[in-house]
Chain A
Amino acid sequence: MSEPVTMPDDDEPLLIADGLSKNYGRLAACRDVSFSLHPGEVLAIVGESGSGKSTLLQLLSAQLAPSAGRVSYRMRDGVLRDLASLGEAERRFLFRTDWGYVHQDPAQGLRMAVSAGANVGERLMAIGWNHYGRIRDTATTWLERVEIDIGRIDDAPKTYSGGMRQRLQIARNLVTAPRLVFMDEPTGGLDVSVQARLLDLMRNLVSELNLAAIVVTHDLAVARLLSHRVMVMKGGRVIETGLTDQVLDDPREPYTQLLVSSILPP
């Protein structure tokens, strides 16, 4: 079995979603979703287009206000806080430091016209780093960690391939040592060979850094490789949830059985 490695026993949840719902007029994009996520735990949210998984990710990452319910997050001081009640400074801290957000399209998460080094260094400067040499050294280390040739550090990501851009986006997110990373179809637009490399890289980083992650994907292979737990969404609801290999090897719900049986064997 190749389930993801290492998940420490940590009894205090990092994030708690409680009765989250989002309506757009009469359309319920997300209905009554509750779960908790622990430090170092990777949760995959799977489902087809329109199932509500992207809406849920936006609710969880405070980019969208819920119509009902709440998201609580354990700040670094150990206190659990309702995201809706955070002050501006606390929100900024989350977005700039304690959280990462990996977009499907790297162009949304990167500044395409500035150098790769600056893309990584910018997150450090935003949290007060001001020593050029240290910033550059750290950026270099991170480019190496995501397997980008450091000879390309001064090139802008618009000159990079899709796979390199995605790896750069990951470096930019992880440089501030976040505790939670949101990923929206992180391997979505990539070739299969590039996907495998990226997945392997993400899997190692997540376990080495003890990151918690919430990964939205329609690709069950991504869920199997990266996540400890999976939530299957349909019509805005979570219809099945559990240990990833349990849900994928022994699916119970008709829709989950359909998803699993629709995978073509390699």
Chain B
Amino acid sequence: MTAMIEISNAAKTFIMHLQGGVELPVVSNVSFHVEPGECVVLSGPSGAGKSSILKMIFGNYRCDTGRIDIRHQGKVIDLASAEPRQVLSVRRASVGYVSQFLRAVPRVATIDVVAEPLVANGTPRAEARDKAKALLRRLNIPERLWALPPSTFSGGEQQRVNIARGFVSDLPILLLDEPTASLDAANRAVVVELIGEKKRRGVAMVAIVHDDEIRHLIADRIVDVTSFAAAA
């Protein structure tokens, strides 16, 4: 495959054992692919399963059936059947994820929260911090906040820290779950710029964005998630 991500017939159903075993179908027959340098935007109403698909591509949700093929270090690995160690290796070297909300360890300074993915990949701490600083500056996080843990920051500031953390490494695949949701116009423009730079470097991206204007600016292709509705 030449694609960075190739999903075929993936399906996900939640079985809620505490609610008498109710089955909650989320998506089925999910099939699409993402090429290098391409940004695919998932569209569909709230509850259609967009975030679940991103989580399946990150290996955070398990698939019931189907394949999630990811290009990882020159090989193709099916995340739907991969061992935990392989999933972690894919996340370290190939797939980054910007979640809707920042989930950081208490006590860790913002600068280190952002630098961590690079350090985990073997980048020397000083160099990782320099890259983190540059991104925090671009995303308009005031320097006086860098040494503080982000837990007390405003929603928009946390979101920008989260974006900085997601964009700091040079991973070939990025998953973006509403990266601009709580940002003002100036910061939204920065994120659009960052996404453009990633594309030019050949990064494959899957994004969820509700804002039509942003979607128009970043999407190379739109995949309608309602066609994967699992009711069938």
Using a CB–CB distance below 8 Å, which chain A residues touch chain B?
Answer: 1-3, 5-7, 9, 38, 41, 196-197, 199-200, 203, 207, 225, 228-229, 242-243, 245-246, 249-250, 252-254, 257-258, 261
Contact = CB atoms under 8 A, between A and B. Distances in A.
Contacts of A254: 17-18
Interface string B34-70: 0000000000000000000001001111100000000
Contact of A250 (B62, B88, B92, B104): B62
Contacts of B106: 196, 200
A252 B104 CA distance: 25
Contacts of B142: none
Contacts of A200: 105-108
Contacts of B85: 7, 9, 38, 41, 228
Contact of A228 (B58, B59, B84, B120): B84
Contacts of B61: 246, 249-250
A5 B119 CA distance: 8
A266 B104 CA distance: 14
B18 A5 contact: no
B88 A228 contact: yes
Contacts of B17: 253-254, 257-258
Contacts of A253: 17
| Interface hub of A1, A3, A200, A261 (most chain B Cβ within 10 A) | A1
B78 to A, nearest CB: 15
Interface residues of B, number: 29
Contacts of A38: 85
Interface of B: 14-18, 55, 58-62, 84-85, 87-89, 91-92, 97, 99, 103-108, 116, 119-120
A246 to B, nearest CB: 6
A100 B44 CA distance: 52
Contacts of A246: 59-62, 84, 87
A247 to B, nearest CB: 9
A245 B107 contact: no
Contacts of B60: 1, 245-246, 249-250
A6 B104 contact: no
B59 A196 contact: no
Given A2-B104, A199-B105, A242-B62, 16 more contacts: A5-B116, A6-B120, A9-B89, A200-B107, A225-B105, A228-B85, A228-B88, A243-B59, A246-B60, A250-B61, A250-B62, A252-B15, A254-B17, A257-B17, A257-B18, A258-B18
A38 B89 CA distance: 13
16 contacts: A1-B58, A2-B104, A5-B119, A7-B92, A9-B85, A9-B89, A38-B85, A228-B84, A243-B87, A246-B59, A246-B61, A246-B62, A250-B55, A250-B62, A257-B16, A258-B17
Nearest to B112: A204
Contacts of B58: 1
Contacts of A3: 88, 91
Contacts of B62: 242, 246, 250, 252
B178 to A, nearest CB: 15
Nearest to A201: B107
Contacts of B99: 1
A257 B116 CA distance: 30
Given A250-B61, A250-B62, A2 B103 contact: yes
Contacts of A249: 55, 60-61
A2 B113 CA distance: 9
Nearest to A261: B18
A210 to B, nearest CB: 12
A243 B88 contact: yes
